[in-house]
Chain A
Amino acid sequence: MHEASHAAWLLTAALLASIVGMAWLALAMPAHGQQVWGAPVSPAHARALRVLGAVALAVSLALCLASDHASMAALVWVMSLAGGAFATAMALAWRARWLALLAPWIGAADTAATR
């Protein structure tokens, strides 16, 4: 029983890491920066967001591996990437501004400079 709830926490965290990772990768892209802040982020910020995104996806994989054996974990991770990408796309389509919360250190000033 204890083990099952432990795995459930790990997998929830893995799913969240996939969503956040995909969102960071999206925010680094000019079109989506435009949607969230009204202008693309600066190249330095974009680079940082891409690194963060990649790290978050790696963390997600690690959490999957901590919860299940390798073949199961690989499958869960690949499917969680699909879920993360879809969730990010839906957030961008309907509530783009909310994604700014994932990168609070980027303000309007940071993007205005690139205009």
Chain B
Amino acid sequence: MAAQGMVTQSFRQAMAWLHTWFGLVLGFVLMAAFFFGALSVFDREIDRWAIPSTRFEPQPMPSYEQILRPAFERMQPTQQAIDAMRPRVDGPMPDHFDTVANWSAYTTHRDPVLALFAGFQVPGAKDPDEAIFALGTIDPRDGTALPDDRLKIGSGFFYPMHYSLTLDWKNLGFWIVGFSALVMLAALVSGVVMHRKFFRELFTFRPGKGGLRSVLDLHNLTGVVALPFHFFFAFTGLVIFSATYFFPVGHTQLHDLHDLHAATEANELGLPHQRAGVPAGLANVDAMVAEAQRRWAARDMAGDVGFLVLQHVGDANGYVSVYRAGTDRIALVGQGIHFKASTGELIREDPVATPVGKVAEFLTGLHLQHFRHWLLRWLYVLGGLLGAVCIATGFVFFVEKRKRQHAKQGSQGARIVDALAVTMITGMVAATLGILVANRLLPDDLPARGDWERYAFWGTWVLALLHAGLRSAPVARGLANPAWREQCGAIVVLAIAAVALNWITTGDHLLRTLGTGYWPVAGLDLALLATAAVAGATGLHLRRRAAATAAVEHPRREAAHA
């Protein structure tokens, strides 16, 4: 009995060690993954707030013949893309790219604008399979080209921040986030082992208890109530990137085998892998789309087109793939229907997935939430924010627990961690607001405007770090860092400034957006005001507590002097 008790005890201690140190080191990454993940749930809405010319209602996939074809025909790679490709090509780069490898258009039920992609073959490319790409954005109502150099802050910045920290060098960001997700699964299991009174303390948060107790309560509460969410999102995040994390050999060690597999698969499916080299025309694509929609309806899943791809454009081997926007289900399924481009005859209808495939589709869809369900969308935001609070309170608990001890020993360790925690919690929110404020302040025609917006984000964050470090001296004496409440004040100012600037620069104030029911912009403004309210209340609370501590400290010091 005693031996068994000892084993459990040391197991629990090992779990506590794992939870504390891995949580501390990788919590910084996970905090960003959770927070920006929560923002990504509304990435398209944030895009619309940030690019006022796109503030109109979401549109379905437009007609190919009337809207898409002229838009595709206009597309060419940018000079930047051509320069980037140059070292991987033997001989000179052409002035105009004529051989279209593929054209595609993608939309969701939340996209007012339409994203277009074009891939071109490059004569003399060292890897003949490598294509050069062009991106385009159009107004799907009339085909007008919209400027693409405007940063889509939601889908183009917060979303990649969520899974790669925008560290693109050698995919380093993907690997860091992926490793952190793996560790998070361990942190959840070890946390459950440590927190024995799991259900008995499910609802327990005692803000009045002060000090460590209330912080630990909130850490346990936010971890436990959304435990299925935390677990499934870390897990499905890994599933989505499993090809990158676990099986990158297909593209590295086994390149030839990978190519052979792709060719064999294409042969089996009847979807040609390569061009035939024989020019061919293109039948009516709108008719193919209508036929695809008829076939979906016959399978009792009527719906809009989400993704339209034209492969090997202008070649006898060309084909057109029509994929459904599965907004009515969790599972991310395309139900693709493929047509021969030159004649419009049906080549293939994707079969229903195998059971394993279905599980993968469900898990991917669960995480990527492409479906139409506003309540679930908001519940995901709640889950993401609960995760961020769970990690934030973990940091605070770590610091608070060691602060006084370190103060006695004269160590500076707690000071560093505390400054990093300030940077990660209030600083990250401030940086997020910084990019929104910059978005409304920078002139519309500024060259490389998106880069300036990114600088505003990182600049605000660096300022938050410097500020937190410079103000951290009291932590070494076991007191609170005033940077916490000062950055809460900065958040209030920035959040209100963002709402005010949106009003001034676009005229879309809350009375108007709420009056016309334009929720994407109204929602973001309301969220900003809510952020200001929470940060304001927190700042006031921290100031009152600091004043109370000072009142206790002051007489004590007087007494010591006397």
Contact = CB atoms under 8 A, between A and B. Distances in A.
Interface of A: 11, 15, 22, 26, 29, 31-32, 68-69, 71-72, 75-76, 78-80, 82-83, 85-86, 88-90, 92-94
A92 B205 contact: yes
A43 to B, nearest CB: 16
Contact of B382 (A11, A68, A86, A88): A86
Given A82-B225, A85-B225, A86-B225, A71 B375 contact: no
10 contacts: A26-B202, A75-B330, A78-B229, A82-B383, A86-B222, A89-B204, A90-B205, A92-B204, A92-B205, A93-B206
Nearest to B228: A78
Interface string B191-232: 000000000101111110000000000000110011011000
Nearest to A22: B203
B225 A79 contact: no
A79 B379 contact: yes
Nearest to B369: A75
- The residue among A69, A86, A94 with the most chain B CB atoms within 10 A of its own CB is A86
Interface string B224-253: 011011000000000000000000000000
Contacts of A31: 200, 204
Given A71-B331, A89-B221, A93-B207, A82 B375 contact: no
Interface residues of B, number: 28
B258 interface: no
Given A82-B226, A86-B225, A72 B206 contact: no
B275 interface: no
B501 to A, nearest CB: 32
Contact of B379 (A71, A82, A89, A93): A82
B329 A86 contact: no
**Closest 7 A-B residue pairs measured CB to CB?**
A79-B379, A85-B225, A89-B203, A82-B226, A93-B205, A26-B203, A11-B375
Nearest to A14: B375
Given A26-B202, A76-B375, A89-B205, 8 more contacts: A29-B203, A75-B376, A76-B376, A79-B379, A79-B383, A85-B203, A89-B225, A93-B206
A75 B368 CA distance: 13
A79 B200 CA distance: 20
Nearest to B229: A82
B362 interface: yes
A31 B383 CA distance: 26
Interface of B: 200, 202-207, 221-222, 225-226, 228-229, 328-331, 362, 366, 371, 373, 375-376, 379-380, 382-383, 386
Nearest to A30: B200
B389 to A, nearest CB: 10
A79 B229 contact: yes
A86 B383 CA distance: 10
Contacts of B202: 26, 85, 89
B373 A76 contact: yes
A79 B375 CA distance: 10
B380 A79 contact: yes
Contacts of A89: 202-205, 221, 225
A72 B221 contact: no
Given A71-B331, A78-B228, A83 B379 contact: yes
B205 A71 contact: no
A86 B385 CA distance: 12
A93 B229 CA distance: 23
Contacts of B226: 82, 86
B207 A86 contact: no
A68 B373 contact: yes
Contacts of A90: 205
Given A68-B373, A85-B202, A88-B203, A75 B366 contact: yes
Contacts of A93: 205-207
Nearest to B371: A72
B409 to A, nearest CB: 35
B378 to A, nearest CB: 9
A76 B379 contact: yes
A106 to B, nearest CB: 17
A56 to B, nearest CB: 15
B376 A15 contact: no
Contacts of A15: 375
Contacts of B386: 82, 86
- The residue among A72, A75, A83 with the most chain B CB atoms within 10 A of its own CB is A75
B229 A32 contact: no
A71 B221 CA distance: 27
Contacts of A29: 200, 203
A69 B376 contact: no
Nearest to A27: B203
A32 B203 contact: yes
Contacts of B229: 78-79, 82
Nearest to A91: B203
A68 B386 CA distance: 25
A72 B376 contact: yes
A63 B208 CA distance: 37
Nearest to A86: B225
A57 to B, nearest CB: 13
Contacts of B382: 79, 82-83, 86
A101 B373 CA distance: 32
Nearest to B331: A71
Contacts of B330: 71-72, 75
Contacts of B376: 72, 75-76, 79
